A and B are shown apart, each in its own frame.
Chain A
């Protein structure tokens, strides 16, 4: 009853507006022409249903994100969101316009920069090594060994070690703030990457993150003793900074203190915690590529030789606003636990869970709210160690009793949400774990 009054109050108080854009951002603050950027829009709809199906078109220097009007029928304000991958844009200044039902709702300027070469990582401290790739080879270059060059950070020359014609490892010289990086070739004009390197505090989007969905150690149901074994190895030529600190120098004679980077050929074990819900590993953009990983969850209460079940690692491209899991067993001999994660550090993301029979009959529907204990809304960059998260024990849902297997669909309330989820099915007798993780295409073009 109270709820009804609240709804009526909201409906009465709802201003008579269609859908509005509250927030309109780009995934990366600095956009280059050799990569595609995502635009993220969120807002509220008053008197109409949420907008649908964004289409993008580029005409000259105007990029239009065109959302279809969702139509009438909504009586209380509802949030909406979309995440749109923009087409490839060549260097220049663009105006990006958001239209809903043909009406302009927001616009932003987007500067797309040329990147004559690439520097990885794009931030750091003096003394750190960075990889510079893509120095053009098409210069006038008549000699056998002609790609000799020098690298300058804000006018200060760096020590370099050449790996090949197009690659060099440079040691960052002293400096501060955001500086230009210049490469001087023996033949041909120098190349400059304006603002290409940032000394000191990186921005949020200077990092990429990998989600370890489970990093649990501790006791579980039926006397189980769970251990998650997650490790990584740096196959690259420069050190990889990490948050949290996980690498311990095996040659160090002093206390084993985790350091904030993994050196080339270094191995590290990811932190285990006595809590469910997974944890992020942050590395500078493009430095996830040289890392190799392994992650397994195992119960040691029944067998000391069992190797457990492999846990997939989750990256942005593995997420979606809708996750579909197929033929998950929910018989009483198993414990079937659904875990749902938000990839975007949004505390309070709402996700609709629909459980159906194989034939499509809905057995159970509910909203889950993904939460995280620690939040860093006012801190930038926000490198929250934990994702917002929720669990649902499918085997405890009365409507599912008697069902053998069910299909599970997870849907973020707003379409810009990037969620991931899986079900672990644990045999009550053997404690053997079988995963049911998303096998559908997630973020297709």
Chain B
């Protein structure tokens, strides 16, 4: 009780100061790379502001928020996530405002990126790929690559003029320079850092969500398998987290070039993340299928999508999901931001006027190793067993996070009780992060 009172008081104090918090995601913003601006605040007496509108101008980024109308009896937190589809390098004043006031302003530095290096971390001897330089495509050239003051241990020019480089031993964050003839290009510090071991953590990585990697028994005697395979089409090894490629000599290793590796299955429901160094995920190819082996040895199952940040949204809309006694319909909701305890409001409607409101809270699944890193907070609802929804026919489902900075993804698996065949209902609508 006292804790709640303190929270409410702190919220009032927070809002009296008429401020909001601004966070950049990822924290280091690079020239012409998409990034998010997160805005979070509290709203004690009126519904929170929303519907952000982005304006950009040289040196200035402005986000206008529409104020909420009406009166709110209980204070609430609010959040918005605004996608910025790349900016030129430079320094920007970022202003968040409503019709009444400027909520917050801050400064954003967008780092120049004359070329790219990936992965952006390593130890001595790590192979990295440098792209975006000119001069080595046709003519033979001998580029000199330095990490800080140390020259790379080896530099190979690929057939398309990119550079495969073996890193020297340096310490900490360093700039990277490429010299071809009289021209030197410099990537400032912040793009590459030496790590002390093979596991750099996930800060320099982007992630994909594999919605299922389950193996185990299910209802009606089902024997579920998830067959997920990842192939590396990059010319260099790709160090993923977790590492799941095995070599007899070296144990777990980065995905080798051309490597074709099954992703491990577990007896844990919920999504699992695969972390890939920024800039290298585009070289990976996936396939993922869920299948029941209890009824058929030849069934190839149902394809599962691989989920990236641009597939997520604070509002997920699913359409015409059948809720009938013939089927088991299970709704799975994922939080892409590893925020356990995220509240999700669910509205289930049909054309006959049904409107059922549900709420769910995401949680980390119970597992053994590094759940907070590798597992998506998750909640599953058996829609078929919820009073009021049994035999509701074809329903539309709208999921809405309590705050708009959330990045949700969700789907319904509908299993035929006789055949165990699974049909998915995934979000097919456009999501805010999707850019052409």
Count how many chain A residues have C-beta atoms less than 8 Å from C-beta atoms of the other chain: 81
**Nearest opposing residue in chain A for B310, CB measure:** A317
B175: CB under 8 A from chain A? no
Count how many chain B residues have C-beta atoms less than 8 Å from C-beta atoms of the other chain: 79
Give Cα A326–Cα B228 distance, bound, in whole angstroms. 10
Give Cα A87–Cα B62 distance, bound, in whole angstroms. 19
Which one of A215-223, A241-249, A302-310, A345-353 contacts B? A302-310
A443: CB under 8 A from chain B? yes
CB contact list, A426-445 vs B, under 8 A:
427, 429-430, 432, 434-437, 439-441, 443-445
From residue A35, how far is it (CB to closest CB) to chain B in Å? 7
Q: Is the CB of B53 within 8 A of A134?
A: yes
Which residues on the B side are within 8 Å of A292 (C-beta)? 317-319, 396, 428-429
Contact of A36 among B85, B318, B326 (CB under 8 A): B85
A291: CB under 8 A from chain B? yes
Known: A315-B430, A324-B233. A52 touches B54 (CB 8 A): no
A141: CB under 8 A from chain B? yes
**Nearest opposing residue in chain A for B32, CB measure:** A87
Give Cα A434–Cα B327 distance, bound, in whole angstroms. 19
Interface mask (A370-387 → B, CB under 8 Å = 1, otherwise 0): 000000000000000000
Which residues on the B side are within 8 Å of A317 (C-beta)? 310, 434-436
Q: Is the CB of A90 within 8 A of B57?
A: yes
Q: Is the CB of B284 within 8 A of A440?
A: yes
CB contact list, B388-436 vs A, under 8 A:
396, 414, 416, 418-419, 421, 423-426, 428-430, 434-436
From residue A104, how far is it (CB to closest CB) to chain B in Å? 15
Contact of A90 among B58, B282, B421 (CB under 8 A): B58
Q: Is the CB of B421 within 8 A of A310?
A: no
**Nearest opposing residue in chain A for B114, CB measure:** A57
Known: A52-B160, A166-B64. A326 touches B134 (CB 8 A): no
From residue B427, how far is it (CB to closest CB) to chain A in Å? 8
Q: Is the CB of B285 within 8 A of A445?
A: no
Give Cα A288–Cα B318 distance, bound, in whole angstroms. 15
- On B, residues with C-beta under 8 Å from A are 31-34, 51, 53-58, 62, 64-67, 69, 85-88, 97-100, 132, 134, 137-138, 160-161, 229, 231, 233, 258, 260, 281-282, 284-289, 296, 298-303, 305-306, 308, 310, 317-320, 322, 326-327, 351, 396, 414, 416, 418-419, 421, 423-426, 428-430, 434-436
- Contacts A292-B318, A312-B305, A432-B299 given; 7 further ones with Cβ under 8 A? A33-B56, A71-B138, A233-B396, A267-B351, A289-B430, A327-B287, A445-B32
Question: Can you give 18 contacting A-B residue pairs, CB < 8 Å?
Answer: A34-B56, A53-B137, A88-B85, A133-B51, A134-B53, A164-B66, A235-B317, A289-B430, A305-B326, A306-B423, A324-B231, A333-B298, A360-B258, A432-B300, A439-B285, A440-B284, A441-B284, A445-B32
